[in-house]
Amino acid sequence: MRMTLYERGYNYDKGKNTGSGPVIPFASLATLREKFLVDRSSVHPLQVLVLFILILIPLQSSAAEMPWGPWSVNDDAPVLLLKADRRTAPTDPASKPVPSVAATPFLWLLSFYQNVVGPVVSGRCNMYPTCSRYSVESIRKHGPVIGIVMTADRMMHELDEQDLAPLIKVGNRYRYSDPVENNDFWWYAQ
């Protein structure tokens, strides 16, 4: 004959909420045993099996939701990224060239465009990186004068480059890959 905890006179009022977590009822081990093993003689193997299945199902579903792939937190055990992942992976901030003082106003303007104007007129650039991103990268790499010239070049060569550049998937959209290195390789040693 099963009984609920309430029927057995379990005193919930003894539980104390410390404010840092859920209410933990103050109960002796014997009380907890009573709670979970209500009537030990009536436990059927099928019940154990069901219990196992119930435990395993949420584990499986959470595993299925997690993106499956190599991961690492240790440089000694690195992961191999797919080519497409590497293209879209964020670059190491330490490897970014430090902009000069003269470049700062241009970078501010570009930042203003990216944050204020960009969201309104976004989606027009078919290239990767986008023209504003390309401009930021070229100014950071070569300074404001060459950076602006390279930006003008980029805006002019978009049309023909789409017939030649490789198509890559960035996020949920295909773009033509045309990084800064594709346009300074003939004069700038990496």
Partner 1 sequence: MRTRSVLLLFLMLFCGRAVVAAEMPAQKMISFADSLFEKGDYYRAITEYERVIFFHPGDPLALTARFQIARAYLKGDRVDQAVERFRALNQEFPNDDIGKKAYYMLGEAYYQKREYSRAADIFTTYIETYPGDKRIDACRIKIGWSYLRQGQWRQAADEFEKLPPDSPLHTQAEGLAEGSEKYPGIPTKNPTLAGGLSAVLPGAGQLYVNRPGDALVSFLLNGAFIWATVEAFHHDNNVTGGILLFFESGWYLGNIYNAVNGANKYNRRSEQQFLDGLQDKYSVSYRYDGRGGNMLAFTMRF
| Interaction site with partner 1 (CB under 8 A) | 43-45, 48-49, 52, 70, 78-80, 83, 148-153, 155-160, 164, 182-183, 185-186
Q: Which is nearer to partner 1, 130 or 165 (CB)?
A: 165
- Shortest CB 130 distance to partner 1, Å: 17
- When the beta carbons of 6 and 187 are compared against partner 1, the nearer one is 187
From the CB of 18, what's the least distance to partner 1, in Å?
Answer: 35
Sign of CA dihedral 168, 173, 91, 188: positive
Dihedral, CA of residue 119, residue 125, residue 128 and residue 131, to nearest 10: -80
> 115-138 burial string, b = 16+ CB within 10 Å, else e?
eeebeeeeeebbbbbbbbbbbbbb
Residue closer to partner 1 by CB (options 27, 177) is 177
- Min dist. Cβ of residue 10 to partner 1 (A): 24
27 contacts 1 by C-beta, under 8 angstroms: no
